[in-house]
Structures are given as C-alpha cells and as structure tokens.
Structure 1
Amino acid sequence: MSAQPIKAAHLLLVCLLSLVSAVAGADTLERVRNSHSVVLGYVPDFAPFSTQDGDKASGYAIDLCQGIFNALKTELNLPSLQVRYQPVGLGEETSAVSTGKVDILCTPTPATLERRKTVSYSIPVYTAGLSAVVNKKAPNALLRVLKGDVVKTGPTWRTDVNRALANMTYATIAGGVTEQWINQQIRSLGVVATLVTVQDAAAGLKRVADGKADVFFAERTMLKHELTDQYVTGNLVLLDRIFEYSTTSMMLDRDDENFRLLVDSALSEMYRSGEIERQYDKHLGGVSDTSRMFFNLYALP
C-alpha cells in the first residue's frame, strides 16, 4: 500500500473522529442523562431577571429555568436529576454556553448575528425596552430631545438636537447591545459626547445620582426595579420614552436541536398554561395587554 492512500485514510479517520466528538459534545440531553445533573447558567445582579444570594439564584428567568429543569426530569425519566446554578459574568455569556461550562443561560439576552455564530437561542421569554434615567436637574434642552419632543423638521432641528446632546456623559452596562446602540447614535448624529460603561444598573444609577453621568441607558424593567429598591425618594427620573424594543431569549448550544426543542416545548407550555404570566406578576410587576399579545406569538403550537 502506497504512502498516499495511508495518508488519505489517516486524514479521513481524523475527520470522522472530530465529527463524532463535535456531535457528542453537542448532545446535551445525553450528557445530562449520563451525569444525572444539569448546569443552569445565569448573570448575577441582573434583577429582577436573575440575582445571586449566597449559593442560591432567584428571579424571573430562574423560575422559568426551573420549569425547564422539571421538563428535563420528565423527558429523561430522571426524578433524581440534580441541578446546579452557575453564575456567569457579564461579557462571558456566549463563551460559557459555547464551551459547555453551562447547559443553558437562563438570563434572557437579545440575539445578534455575531452571537448566532457560536450559540443558538430559545423562543423569546421577554420583550426588553430600552429606557433612560436622568437627574431631576437635567437641562431642559436635553430632556426635550430624550423625550422625543423635538420636531424633526426645518433647517435647524438637527443643530438643536446636537447642541442638546453634545458634551454630555452617557452611561450603560458594559458589553451589551445598548453600548453598540449608543455608539451608533453618537456617530450618526455627529455628536461630541462621552460614553462610559459600568458593571450593572446600580453602578449606572449611582453615576447619575452623583453627577458623574448625565444619562444612564438600560432595560426599563431593570431600571424600575433598581429605582424602587434604592432611589424611592431620590433625585433620579425614569423617562417614559422607550427608545428600542428587543426580544430576549435563553442562550443554548448552537448545534443541539434536540435540547433546543425540549426547551422551546417547555417554554411554550408555560405560555399556554399561564405560568409565564404568573411569573410576570411575581417578578415583573404584572403583564400588559401588549405582552399578552406577544405571548401568543412566542409560544410554538
């Protein structure tokens, strides 16, 4: 036998082994069945969606993941299945899922094309709204622009907007899609401004309260929760305007459709049974008519 066929056969074997390894790595259900345990990831300090209290986790997303855990026990016929909640740092969500550190990221995140290169997503579990918090003493010109009160007609409207937004300091949580959105707005309007990033909502609100930032942008429900908890009688104001909407979902392994199907089936059943609405009432301050409409769209038949 010549060296060339041997080399070709060796290469084929390596490719097959790599393929088998990839498939095995992607089979979450088989891994859970063999280990009798599942690892549910979450981002701490992301109230009311996921928070850490000692070695325990709680929040809206955690309760939904508990429902998925129960579905796993039933599907795999493993009543003694163990669960471990694994904290995941901001900016580490994608790698935690793609490397198998966690089986699912419970904390909902918006899907992006860049993230979809390495991970997949469940059906949506929440519709996020981007809002802003300012100091009560914020300039009127800035407030008018942020509230959307500036009429975008006439030769000077862009100049008025730029003047109101210029030389301000804007803050947001590091590593998220909001950071990209603010940078986009600054570039498209040609505004000279400063963007600073913070670790969490509490740090962002503190910057505005201390006068170190003029505006803090973050998800509206998170802002309401943090303001109610820490700034009931403070000097901060949550604006009514929602700048952007985004569906958010749980992050899963990109190459595991069987596990994704189980997760989507469990979430769809939670939508149909009213469980998700009960979790909205418990953690998110109730459900609106618009949210109920989204529930019907998100649940798969």
Structure 2
Amino acid sequence: MTAQYVGLLYGLVLAFSPILPAAAADEVLRLGIRVDAPPFSSRVETAHSGAKFDEMYTGFSVSLCSEVVQRMKWDTPDLRVEVIPVTAQTRFPKEPQQYPTWDLLCDPTSVTLLRFDWCRYSFPYFVTGIAYATHDSATNPENLGGQLVALVGKTTTDSGLKLEWSHLYGTPPEFVVKDNYEEAVLALKEGEVKAVFGDQILLQDALEKASMSVESYMSSDILSIELYSFCVNSARPNVLTVVNVTLADLYRSGKIIELLGESFDGRGANRLLSTLYRLYAVPEK
C-alpha cells in the first residue's frame, strides 16, 4: 500500500463523511473502551471503581484518547467523561445505521467499509496486519486445509480472512471462533487447534502472556496491511475534529513515539509507522 494511496483513501473518507449537528450535551464525552485488547486497550485489574478512565484502563489507544480528553478540556473545563466498557463483540451496534452508545471508541479499530455505518474515521495511528501462530514452523495457510484453526470473532480476521481464504490459499480450514485472544492462544497451547490467526500485535501479546515464545510460534510475515484509526460517532463531528488536531500535534512534536514506547516496552516506530506519522503531521497553518 503506497503512501499516495493511503492519503487518497483518507482524503475521500473525510470529504464524503456526512457532517451532522453536534450533540447538545457537549460537556459529556462517552468513551467506548476496549477491555481485552492489550497493548492497545485493556482494564487495569488493580484499579478501583472511582479511578479516572486512564487509571482504570491502559494501552496505546487509551493514552491517545487521554490526550484527546486533555485537549477537549481546554475549551470545556467541566468536561465529564463517561466510560462504556466494550469487547470485540460489543463495540459496534447490532444493526447498521444505528448510532453507537459511545462518542469515541478507544480500541484498535481497523478501517473497513462496513464500519462506515458507525464510524467517522480519524487520521490513522497504527499499521498492522493479520499474522498466525502455530506449533510447527512448516505450517502455513496453504497446508491448513481441513484443519482446525482459531480466530477471534467480530474482527477483520473473522470477516476478511474467512471470506478470502479459498481465493488466496485454496481449501479452507475449519474455523473455531473464540471470544478473545487469550482463549484462542490457549486452544493452540492445549492442541485444540493447529493454528491461530489474528492481528499481529494482539496475537503476539497473547502468546507472551501465555508464556509461549513469539519467535517459536509466530509467522514472520503478515498476510495483510491494516490501518488503525479512531472511530467517532457520526453525531459528534466536533469530537472528530479534536481527535485529528490532537493526533497531528502528537505526530509533529514526536510525542507519539514516547507514548508508543510506553505501551510497547520501549520499542520505537518501524519505517512504515514512521512514514504514516510524517504523512499525518498536518501543519497548523
């Protein structure tokens, strides 16, 4: 995917997204926060119920949402933040054309056409792709036909990979859908499935938490290129503006690298991610 293509895609998205009136109660910001997607967003088990949202939840997406909230408070000092915990299965409405219950979704949201029903997408803030883990280094998608393969439901891996498998790799496996990456990796560890497919970063984190060596189990290549952006409720276009202004400022200042390192054990941005940040370091004037 070239930089020109990425820029054109987002130009079209921003140009043709409908502009709707701002909500009357602008002093309230409802954050949909993913509870099960570390290192982007997850609940801090030791946090008490009265803590601030960025003390109750942690991860790269949460840190960026915290920056958005701080900027919104410049103009709305009395801004009240409400948290709506979500999972991969509950983050979007059940029916198209329904407004979500949140104003800003703080989770690793891949850009897909289907999600335009609920999202006005922000500038992208991460690049990733589908990877897989297996016990046998000789295993690859082409020889998994008829085997049991785990993936997480209501994700782009669930929808896109299942749809494209026959075209890309031939005979499809039998897909075992799990609620989260922890369950999917456990199925691999216990020999229930031959492989697990999912987002590269989320799968890597789940392998490490299960004490499974990433180098031993993880594929070296990704099977797709996916952009993560913030999904903003179409009824709150003012929130989208603040999100994009915040991201552009973080990219220009370089603070995005600091926040990235805090969530990814000090790791910096790779070449593709660095290019993405330069593309969207939009000047102030």
- TM-score range, shorter-chain basis? 0.7 to 0.9
State the 1:187 CA deviation.
Answer: 2.6
Give the match for residue 8 of structure 2.
none
1:40 to 31, 37, 54: 31
Give the match for residue 228 of structure 1.
208
SS in 2 for 1:72: helix
SS in 2 for 1:244: coil
SS in 2 for 1:178: helix
Alpha-carbon distance in 2 for matches of 1:284, 1:221:
10
Would the aligned equivalents of 1:108 and 1:125 in 2 still touch at CA under 8 Å?
no
Give the match for residue 62 of structure 2.
62
Gaps of at least 5 residues in structure 2 are 1-18, 50-55
Would the aligned equivalents of 1:98 and 1:254 in 2 still touch at CA under 8 Å?
no
SS in 2 for 1:101: coil
State the 1:121 CA deviation.
Answer: 1.0
Alignment of 1:79-94 (within 5 A): 79-94=77-92
Q: Which moved more, 1:213-222 or 1:283-292?
A: 283-292
Give the match for residue 41 of structure 2.
50
State the 1:61 CA deviation.
Answer: 0.6
Alpha-carbon distance in 2 for matches of 1:170, 1:230:
18
| Inter-CA distance 174–278: structure 2 relative to 1 (3 Å threshold) | same
Alpha-carbon distance in 2 for matches of 1:194, 1:232:
23
Would the aligned equivalents of 1:264 and 1:300 in 2 still touch at CA under 8 Å?
no
SS in 1 for 2:197: strand
State the TM-score, normalizing by the size of structure 1. 0.76
Gaps of at least 5 residues in structure 1 are 1-22, 147-160
What amino acid does structure 2 have at the position aligned with 1:177? T
Alpha-carbon distance in 1 for matches of 2:214, 2:65:
35
SS in 2 for 1:85: strand
What amino acid does structure 2 have at the position aligned with 1:31? A
State the TM-score, normalizing by the size of structure 2. 0.80
SS in 1 for 2:69: helix
Q: Which has the higher helix share?
A: 1
Q: Of the two, which has the highest radius of gyration?
A: 1
State the 1:116 CA deviation.
Answer: 0.6
Would the aligned equivalents of 2:252 and 2:282 in 1 still touch at CA under 8 Å?
no
Alpha-carbon distance in 1 for matches of 2:270, 2:105:
26
State the 1:58 CA deviation.
Answer: 1.2
Would the aligned equivalents of 1:116 and 1:254 in 2 still touch at CA under 8 Å?
no
Backbone CA RMSD of aligned residues: 2.6
Give the match for residue 274 of structure 2.
292
SS in 2 for 1:267: helix
Alpha-carbon distance in 2 for matches of 1:199, 1:178:
13
Give the match for residue 181 of structure 1.
160
Give the match for residue 19 of structure 1.
none
State the 1:233 CA deviation.
Answer: 5.8
SS in 1 for 2:92: helix
State the 1:190 CA deviation.
Answer: 4.0
Alignment of 1:54-203 (within 5 A): 54=47, 55=49, 56-74=56-74, 76=75, 78-95=76-93, 98-135=98-135, 138=136, 140=138, 142=139, 145-146=140-141, 161=142, 164-188=143-167, 189-203=169-183
Give the match for residue 188 of structure 2.
208
State the 1:95 CA deviation.
Answer: 2.1
- Percent identity over paired residues: 20
SS in 2 for 1:131: strand
How many pairs does the alignment contain? 252
Q: Deviations over 1:48-89 (max 9, x none)?
A: 111113541111111100100011111x2x323222322013
